[in-house]
Chain A
């Protein structure tokens, strides 16, 4: 079956630190992979996505590369800001519209 395993939080970093949030997946076919972000009081928003192996999704300084060989889609950012404090969800979607989500990782960036 399909599943997503995501690094547990919470994660606390100082401003300008390097961020990595690990995400690995299990899928029966060829899924699309996503990172969603939820800022306090807001809905889940798409952060970035990749639809096939070796694709790199990027947005707002965040990057993630679809690694089929390691079934991973780790989220990275070189220099985090306080405004990046949020909960990050890794997800996959195979056929149809159903998503499979990770548990979410709470990130707090302190000045």
Chain B
């Protein structure tokens, strides 16, 4: 079964609104989670590294005030796209580092469409 659950799988929101995407680790505690995004015909790109109990580390070019990441517990990280615009429409996927097994697990991904 799934080790990492991501929700929602599909979301459509109006321009200017905010949308939250959840990433849950089901089988183990995760101190570190990663958020990626993929624009059409481009690679999956790392957006930020989410650390439990501390601020996320954002990659260059990713606006931290626009993409709010909260990793409040060892099993949940959330990505909130604030004041979404059509250019934020993309595929967002999280991954979880299971240090005990030296393995990374991915969520199912979330398709965001901003209209």
Residues of A that sit less than 8 Å from B by CB: 4, 8, 36, 38, 41-46, 89, 91, 97-104
Q: Which of B9, B32, B42, B106 contacts A44 (CB 8 A)?
A: B106
| A-B pairs with beta carbons under 8 Å apart, 25 shown | A36-B106, A41-B108, A42-B108, A43-B4, A43-B105, A43-B108, A43-B109, A44-B109, A45-B106, A46-B103, A91-B44, A97-B32, A97-B49, A97-B97, A98-B49, A99-B44, A99-B46, A101-B36, A101-B43, A101-B44, A103-B41, A103-B42, A103-B43, A104-B38, A104-B43
- Residue B34 is within 8 A (CB to CB) of chain A in the complex: yes
Residues on the A chain within 8 Å of B112, using CB: none
- Complex CA gap A101/B91 in Å reads 14
Give chain B nearest CB distance to A7 CB in angstroms.
Answer: 13
B43 touches A102 (CB 8 A): yes
Q: Which B1-46 residues have a C-beta within 8 angstroms of A?
A: 2, 4, 6, 9, 32, 34, 36, 38, 41-46
Give chain B nearest CB distance to A21 CB in angstroms.
Answer: 15
Residues on the B chain within 8 Å of A46, using CB: 103-104
Q: How many residues of B contact A (CB 8 A)?
A: 25
B34 touches A97 (CB 8 A): yes
Residues on the A chain within 8 Å of B95, using CB: 44, 99
A4 touches B43 (CB 8 A): yes
- Residue B93 is within 8 A (CB to CB) of chain A in the complex: yes
Known: A91-B44, A103-B41. 17 other contacts (CB 8 A): A4-B43, A8-B41, A36-B106, A43-B105, A43-B106, A44-B106, A44-B109, A89-B44, A97-B34, A98-B49, A99-B36, A99-B95, A99-B104, A100-B43, A103-B43, A104-B38, A104-B43
